[in-house]
Amino acid sequence: MPPASLLARHGLFILLLTVGGLARAASAPDVSGVVELFTSQGCSSCPPADHLLSKLAADPSIVALSFPIDYWDFIGWKDTLASPAFTARQKAYAAALGEGHVYTPEAIVDGLTDTVGSDKQAIDRAFEIGKHSRSALSVPVALHEAGGILQVDIGAGSNLSANVYVLRVIKSKTVMIGRGENSGRSLTYTNVVRAIHKVAEWEGKPESIKLTELKGAGEGYIVLVQQGSEQEPGAILGAAKGVGL
């Protein structure tokens, strides 16, 4: 057995086992769709999309994520959950999809299709596009937590390669908005991303990745296996969510 390597990136400690035989066989994909909602506490059009995302998140076969962005902070309320990294991810999707702008609420489905985040019918159509894609959610991914260790098992995918991302997520967060377009409203956000880390590059063979990290109260993990780059993300090949998300 070759030696394992211990890496540290952005406070995330990674024990990466690179031999395919070490990976446990991942079960068939449980996830049928991934929705990333780019939202803002300062956007009066966003609450219906936030509510829809909470309904989508209740479906165990869907990974539903809230990415709070920061470019509306100037209009009177600084989003308490936003991160420039999430704005950068939305802009990267715009570049990859050939869009000339970003907006809220915007939903990206399976890394392939963008639509208004409050439009349930459009999101359902985007799910159908993903189902007919040869690559989207075609790779089995399993996520296990035990004894302070997070293990990600990725199955095989013919002629595919991708980046592996681990996301720290708060299941639910309620915020009282003090100013701006939503002033005076108490809004609840679902599966709010707090950090996203690229932890490995996957080359199409079965692989196991073991990680340890101290997560905050109420946080869980989501794993995405995604084609493309951080600058131009592509199809999500596989996904898994931790217990309770």
Q: Is the pLDDT of residue 200 over 90?
A: yes
C-alpha angle with apex 10: 9 to 15, nearest 5 degrees?
35
Contact 156/204 with Cβ under 8 angstroms?
A: yes
pLDDT in tens, 86-136: 999 999 999 999 998 999 999 999 999 999 999 999 999 999 999 998 889
DSSP characters over 94-121: HHHHT-S---SSEEEETTTEEEETT-HH
Rounded CA separation 205/224 (Å): 16
pTM: 0.91
Burial of 100 (0-12, 13-18, 19+ CB in 10 A): exposed
Rounded CA separation 216/199 (Å): 19
> Which of 37-46, 114-123, 145-154 shows the lowest per-residue confidence on average (mean pLDDT)?
145-154
Contact 36/141 with Cβ under 8 angstroms?
A: no
Residue 3 pLDDT level (bands cut at 50, 70, 90): very low
Contact 33/137 with Cβ under 8 angstroms?
A: yes
3-class SS of residue 69: coil
Q: Is the pLDDT of residue 167 over 90?
A: yes
Tokens of 177: 């908005």
> Beta-carbon neighbour count of residue 230 at 10 Å?
14
C-alpha angle with apex 13: 34 to 7, nearest 5 degrees?
110
Average confidence (pLDDT) over 23-43: 80
Q: Is the pLDDT of residue 68 over 70?
A: yes
